[in-house]
Structure 1
Amino acid sequence: MSEEPGESREPCIVRAADGWTGESDDGSRWKRLGRLAGGDRLGCTLEELLPGHDPLPYHYHTANEEALYVLDGRGALRTPAGEFDVGAGDYVSFPVGEAGAHTVENASDVPLRYLAVSTMTEPDVVVYPDEGTLCVNAGAAPGRPRGEFTLRRSFSLSDGTDV
């Protein structure tokens, strides 16, 4: 949703009552706030993880910076520097590249709610070091529906074969 410079528009307000935009098999759910509000270059997702779950494997982006702001609950954050407890009010930034590798898990007995914020640059390559794979995304930024990608392929880091 691009606007001409200087062109004004009504703000697109996403309300709590608007409901969730997705749910995983484990019952964790998310709302793509940035997309719902008409954002192009900045993504923001409200995520709610049930106890014992994590949304994504340990990963980093080669084109997109990410950040996490915890709203409620407690989580276990893993980065290249180690593991850290995070809780309500904590903010963490994940730069582009290996230094920004991360995953967060809900290690508590109550839901963990946080905002995941990211730039929406494409193409992007997402690397999953623990799994030994990478995923090339083109045509849409990470976090967009799969149908919007013109290219989305995963490869083995060890031999380059499709996975």
Structure 2
Amino acid sequence: MYVLEGEATLVTDAGETVLKPGMAAGFPAGRADGHHLINRGDRPVLYLEVGTRAGHEEAHYSDIDLKARKVGSRFVFTHRNGDPYP
């Protein structure tokens, strides 16, 4: 993700980092690191996010014990241990 306008707080398993215009963050495939953005400012945040649409994708949301994997053209959501996610 690349921040174009505003300030966004990036929350990862390692903690929080404020991203300002011109700053970027990336997450290598295959490394489980739950992350999301929070806008704590008084202005909208505009950012660019780039990803693949590979035939097989898997995402880990470690902060909420969620795993998403692509099966065909849809995603299946489970807990890390494979139990269905409500």
TM-score above 0.5:
yes
- Give the direction of change, closer, same or farther, for the CA distance of 1:159–1:94 in structure 2 (3 Å limit): closer
Residue 129 of structure 1 is matched in structure 2 by 62
Q: Which has the higher helix share?
A: 1
Following superposition, the deviation at residue 115 of structure 1 comes to 0.1
**Quick check: 1:82 aligned with 2:15?**
yes
Residue 95 of structure 1 is matched in structure 2 by 28
What stretches of structure 1 move > 3 A for 4+ residues in a row?
Answer: none
TM norm structure 2: 0.81
- Give the direction of change, closer, same or farther, for the CA distance of 1:161–1:138 in structure 2 (3 Å limit): closer
For structure 2, the 5+ residue unaligned runs are none
For structure 1, the 5+ residue unaligned runs are 1-67, 140-148
**Among candidates 49, 73, 86, match of residue 116 of structure 1:** 49
Residue 4 of structure 2 is matched in structure 1 by 71
Residue 80 of structure 2 is matched in structure 1 by 157
- Give the direction of change, closer, same or farther, for the CA distance of 1:89–1:152 in structure 2 (3 Å limit): same
Between the aligned partners of 2:9 and 2:27, the Cα distance in structure 1 is 15
Between the aligned partners of 1:152 and 1:135, the Cα distance in structure 2 is 6
Query: Matched residues, percent identical?
Result: 27
* Count of residue correspondences: 85
Opposite residue 78 of structure 2, the aligned amino acid is F
Between the aligned partners of 1:93 and 1:130, the Cα distance in structure 2 is 18
Following superposition, the deviation at residue 106 of structure 1 comes to 0.8
Opposite residue 157 of structure 1, the aligned amino acid is R
Between the aligned partners of 1:122 and 1:101, the Cα distance in structure 2 is 22
Between the aligned partners of 1:74 and 1:111, the Cα distance in structure 2 is 8
TM norm structure 1: 0.46
Provide, for residues 117-145 of structure 1, a one-character-per-residue CA deviation record: whole Å limited to 9, x for no partner.
Answer: 11222211222212212122133xxxxxx
- Give the direction of change, closer, same or farther, for the CA distance of 1:92–1:161 in structure 2 (3 Å limit): closer
